[in-house]
Amino acid sequence: MTDVQMPDSEPQPAPPAAPPLSALHHLKEIASVIEAGSLSKEVRRISRAVRLTVALRRRLAARDVSAFLAFALPPSSEAYSRLTSLVPKEDETEMDVDAAAPATQISIKHGLPEIEIYCSLLVLIFLIDQKKYDDAKACANASIARLKNLNRRTVDVLASRLYFYYSYVHELTNSLAEIRGNLLALHRMATLHRDELGQFCRYLFYLGKIRTIQLEYTDAKESLLQAARKAPISARGFRIQCNKWAIIVRLLLGEIPERTVFMQKGMKEALTPYFELTNAVRIGDLELFRAVADKFASTFSADRTRNLIVRLRHNVIRTGLRNISISYSRISLADIAKKLRLDSENPVADAESIVAKAIRDGAIDATIDHANGWMVSKETGDVYSTNEPQIAFNSRIAFCLNMHNEAVKAMRFPPNSHKEKESAEKRRERLQQEEELAKHMAEEDEDDF
């Protein structure tokens, strides 16, 4: 029986991969999503368009933005002439043809306010990324003036991003004081429209800073922690600033932040100076505190927290004194000055005044023997026989109840959701949006939107 030889079959070449879609084509798709959201009055579609823009912004070039403006806005409109004048011009020979676009062309309806506001937002983001802050400020001012003439709920999502960049670009150019009145007016309007989350976060942050400067540390801590918790996940830079100020305020209150605060995703490197500062305060080592303050002086100055860190010196001394009172039942004031590393002209007198003030404020439970120059610590009693556990427990319960109430207020439900059954098409669209949102959250540490 002879073997049958099979002809050698050559491997079939793999089909060529489809060329990636250009940034211009993605912008056109985003415009069609905004148009659908505007016509159907579905705000979630506008929110989806903003998320898609976040993923696309790093790929944008001036030619893409110019071509998109020509596609989305009527050539004779005031918005088109104003926005195109702000976009940097490129050599016409470098203009790429949108060859990757599919055969089906995308078209949108001209004249929609949502499209116009989105174009303004796109140009504003592009100018900020290109560090053209003066042009970005002009674009932001004109866009905010245009928003005052619109009263459409489908514009609110885009308007909230414009408000953010309006404030941000003035902050970058050190001209934030010029628009303080406008920001307060915009906050009032956003509150009336019940679309105040972005503005409310910034309000809480600045309120926390003001209260910190006014020595109202307890209220400042609450405002800063709420701002960090309510801020969007993608606003990493804003949340870092909130955490920096909250750490300083907690140290000024005599609290030591948990290690997990400094290990949050995407924040570890930025919070390293504050971690070392917290360690110095926790130990009560004045020399180490000075070394950390000098080592990261430029960082603290850039964060505008250097003056607050100067206030921490007293807390470091008090913490060290508390550790001494726990370790020694009786110790001389001269030894206290030596252990606290006081470098004044009369360290013993300074140590005596520091101990007296700590006793008066209730930081330590001790007495001063002026005749012999000693500090005598009293025996540590049972803390559970005092009201301190009840006070701590009550504060934690109040915090949880407040968070629950805010969560209930923030919940939103689609109308008639209990009556309508979800169709297959709506289910696919919902799953696609959830997948895009998950991808956007996974890439949060790559941009500071």
pLDDT, block means (10 residues), the chain with 449 residues: 50 54 77 77 76 77 82 81 80 46 56 81 86 86 82 76 85 85 76 63 87 88 87 81 91 86 86 89 82 88 88 81 77 77 74 77 73 73 76 88 81 58 69 66 48
Buried b (16+ CB within 10 A) or exposed e, 368-390: eeeeeebbebeeeeeeeeeeeee
Q: How far is the CA of 71 from the CAs of 66, 111, 318, in angstroms?
A: 9, 12, 66
Residue 376: per-residue pLDDT: 77
Strand order in the sheet with 366-369: 330-332, 374-377, 366-369
Residues 139 and 59: beta-carbon distance below 8 Å = no
What DSSP line would sit under 171-230, residue for residue? HHTT-GGGGHHHHHHHHHHHHHTT--HHHHHHHHHHHHHHHHHTT-HHHHHHHHHHHHHH
Six-digit token string for 110: 């001209």
Residue 95: per-residue pLDDT: 45
Domain 328-379 falls under CATH 1.10.10.10 = yes
Residue 419: per-residue pLDDT: 53
> H or E stretch including 14?
none
Residue 244: per-residue pLDDT: 92
Residue 107: per-residue pLDDT: 58
Handedness of CA 305, 306, 307, 310 (dihedral sign): positive
Q: How far apart are CA 364 and CA 275, in angstroms?
A: 26
* Closest C-alpha to 355, from 384, 387, 328, 385: 328
Beta-carbon contacts of residue 168 (< 8 Å; ≥ 6 apart):
128
Residue 53: per-residue pLDDT: 78
Residues constituting the chain = 449
- As beta bridge partners, residue 363 has none
Q: How far apart are CA 159 and CA 325, in angstroms?
A: 57
Residue 245: per-residue pLDDT: 92
Site of tokens 């003035």:
170
Residue 397: per-residue pLDDT: 92
Boundaries of CATH 1.10.10.10 in the chain? Answer: 328-379
Residue 100: per-residue pLDDT: 45
Residue 99: per-residue pLDDT: 44
Q: How far apart are CA 139 and CA 83, in angstroms?
A: 7
Beta-carbon contacts of residue 111 (< 8 Å; ≥ 6 apart):
74
Residue 148: per-residue pLDDT: 78
Residue type (1 letter), 106: I
Residue 414: per-residue pLDDT: 59
Residue 131: per-residue pLDDT: 86
pTM: 0.54
